[in-house]
Structure 1
């Protein structure tokens, strides 16, 4: 499946020329004359792609649209493409997470390279999110008691300490521990701790996070 490039620019001739150029390069393309048009047809995060965004567009500006997309937790990378570049706007856009900031006119090769970088990053982010979602699903399958054991294991407690803390026997904790490892599909304590770190359930100081 080819990546989807979303062009947001109020210049119809520029949109048309860019759409033609990108389709020839093998991309699927969507065009929008304003930020509102894009928001009304919000691109699907599950499709690899990027947004080519002008800075100065009527109504909601490019940076304002970027902020709105961040609020909506969109992961689609933004490449600014503008004829009105200034240092302050560039720095602001990059700090807010823009993938790149390009100035018109731009050579096709440079534009395609920027799009490819943005799409590659989006695919990476999507892959990481899919993995996190699957880990959260595994964690949700733990019983309340198994979740308690999980939290204490990843904080570095040994079976004897966990048994004392939960008011049960070490043998029972061993059984729970086995179930936790099996349900979380790991073979080692290191893997379990790594999952807890990735899911944000274990603070750096070792305490359990809610």
Structure 2
């Protein structure tokens, strides 16, 4: 089994570079692509085999993979399937090939490839494809970090605060929550306020959306 690439979960510094990985067993292609992508300000990490790529650490910031379909050893399509089987979201892939056909393209795109370019391709087509892939990964990372912040807020709640939040999500008012839980109304109000603060929610609607995103809404009244 291939090692899983590390998944960044911490804050994304504004200076994190965008990284383009290149996997191609042709040294001239790797060099030309590297120069092209560096010319638009990207950090480039190039490999001559899928095994070498899989053994490397993944960048914390947005990244994408420019991948040749036909390689010595494991093919590009086989690498795509390996990445899909890992326990983390796969890196966006831009495929390139000099031997592409319709069936191969369809297979790659159905498996989530961002684009499929036939060699020789225009420099601008590669730049556009890589930019789209990086934008997609940046959005995914931002959503993942936002969800992590919500999860941290939920984990910070006490069991009683979580119970109150379930009732809030179910549409109950403080007085009804107090009756359901056998506590004073002021106590229910305090728990609710503390939980809303920990969850960084300014409204019940915002709170419920966050709870739904975490999958912790147990039902409504």
Q: TM-score, normalised by structure 1?
A: 0.87
> Residue by residue, what CA displacement relative to the aligned partner does 1:31-54 show, whole Å, maximum 9, x if unpaired?
11111100010322x222210011
Residue ranges of structure 1 left out of the alignment (5+ in a row): none
User: 1:72-111 residue pairs with structure 2 within 5 A?
Assistant: 72-111=87-126
Residue ranges of structure 2 left out of the alignment (5+ in a row): 1-14
Quick one: structure 1 residues 188 and 104, their matched pair in 2 at CA, closer, same or farther if it must change by over 3 Å? same
Classify the secondary structure of the residue corresponding to 1:106.
Answer: coil
User: 1:184-199 residue pairs with structure 2 within 5 A?
Assistant: 184-199=199-214
Q: CA deviation at 1:87?
A: 2.5
Aligned position for 1:119: 134
Aligned position for 2:197: 182
Choose which of 53, 62, 71 in structure 1 pairs with 2:76: 62
Classify the secondary structure of the residue corresponding to 2:94.
Answer: strand
Q: What is the alpha-carbon root mean square deviation over aligned residues?
A: 2.1
> Residue by residue, what CA displacement relative to the aligned partner does 1:97-150 show, whole Å, maximum 9, x if unpaired?
211111111000111011111111111111111111111111111001111221
Q: CA deviation at 1:164?
A: 4.0
Quick one: structure 1 residues 83 and 72, their matched pair in 2 at CA, closer, same or farther if it must change by over 3 Å? farther
Work out the CA distance in 1 between the residues paired with 2:126 and 2:44: 14
Work out the CA distance in 1 between the residues paired with 2:116 and 2:170: 43
* Structure 1 position 20 matched with structure 2 position 32: no
Work out the CA distance in 2 between the residues paired with 1:22 and 1:183: 43
User: 1:27-46 residue pairs with structure 2 within 5 A?
Assistant: 27-44=42-59, 46=60
Q: CA deviation at 1:75?
A: 4.6
Work out the CA distance in 2 between the residues paired with 1:31 and 1:199: 37
Work out the CA distance in 1 between the residues paired with 2:100 and 2:171: 52
Aligned position for 2:9: none
Aligned length: 205
Choose which of 161, 165, 174 in structure 2 pairs with 1:150: 165
Work out the CA distance in 2 between the residues paired with 1:75 and 1:182: 34
Contact kept? 1:75, 1:122, Cα under 8 Å:
no
Q: TM-score, normalised by structure 2?
A: 0.83
